[in-house]
Amino acid sequence: MKEKATIILNHEGSTKRVHFDDYVRAKLKALREFGYPDLTLTEVEDQATKVLDGIKGIGEGKLTVIGMLMQDEITKEPTND
């Protein structure tokens, strides 16, 4: 997996800066334990990227249930452009 920017994780009322790849690996582990044993790293990375890109809704080319679970959890870190 290629290195991605730092993202903002909103968890239990606080925010924390985390690396994208660390978040994806941790989320994959948690989702597998939650009941998605066949979920792949690529699927989680794709959905996290879509959430960060602001894609909304469920459907073809949009979010899956996995992405919907991430919507309120992660945001892009502001850039200094």
Q: Say if 1 falls within a structural domain.
A: no
pTM of the model: 0.86
Q: Say if 28 falls within a structural domain.
A: no
Contact 80, 52 (CB under 8 A): no
Q: Residue 57 and residue 34: Cα distance in Å, rounded? A: 22
Summarised one tens digit per residue, pLDDT across range 20-78 is 999 999 999 999 999 999 999 999 999 999 999 999 999 988 999 999 999 999 999 87
Q: Residue 7 and residue 30: Cα distance in Å, rounded? A: 18
Give the residue numbers spanning the domain of 59.
Answer: 40-73
The tally of domains found in the chain comes to 1
